[in-house]
Amino acid sequence: MVYKLFDLRIDGSLGKAATLVSRGEGRFDVELRNADLMTTLAKLAILNQAGGLPTEIAGLSTDGNYLVVKQPLAKDIPDQTAGSKLLKQNQHKALAMMYGLLPETTTCSRTVGVLWLNGEGWLVTDLHERNIMLDDRNRPSVIDALVAPVPVEYLRDCRWLRNAVDDARCLREGRPITRIEFGEDVNDDDL
């Protein structure tokens, strides 16, 4: 079992939230901001619905400074450290458990995964070694992360993001991932 503490700040914020922002010319990145209780609870609900490890709200610490949550099925992964090959492998496996993926290339300054859930694409970040744990069947799973909806208008301008969202949708819907190669959808007679 793993317990996690979300620090309640004096300004009312609780943890962090992520937003996908455009940097122009088809470049996008993730910005972090302070989250409130409802944003944090919505994030946990999205992760659980997508297939992350179930999270139970345990309550507040006795001093009222922390929201305490627990993942009763989670176990630590020995030898998984920041930047390790094991962490990268487990990020891939944990996202696959959620019918998501890690794009091979992005324009983001941090590691991001992509999911399809409830008819829209979601970016998943903050996939560090303490947010990927083993489930009760010893499979790497996401216990916590930051999520951000992918604005539909960004898909037009960003190929890696469009492809990743399309692929995540195929995974969620149980369809094979297909990629049209350059020129494959062009009729030579029309040229």
Per-residue confidence (pLDDT) for residue 56, from 0 to 100: 87
Residue ranges in 114-173 assigned as alpha helix (H): 152-157, 159-173
Give the H or E element holding residue 49: helix 37-50
Using CA atoms, how far residue 116 sits from 12, 49, 160, 162, 163, in Å, is 31, 11, 15, 12, 12
pLDDT of residue 81: 93
The pLDDT score that the predictor gives to residue 67 is 85
Contact 112, 124 (CB under 8 A): yes
Each residue's pLDDT tens digit in the chain (191 positions)?
888 888 888 888 888 999 999 888 878 899 999 998 889 889 999 999 999 998 888 888 888 788 888 888 899 998 999 989 999 999 999 999 999 999 998 989 899 999 999 999 999 999 999 999 999 999 999 999 999 999 999 998 899 999 999 999 999 999 999 876 666 666 666 66
Q: What is the DSSP string of 82-95?
A: TT-HHHHHHHHHHH
Query: pLDDT tens, 38-77?
Result: 898 899 999 999 999 988 888 888 887 888 888 888 999 9
pLDDT at 173: 97
Q: Are 33 and 125 in contact (CB under 8 A)?
A: no
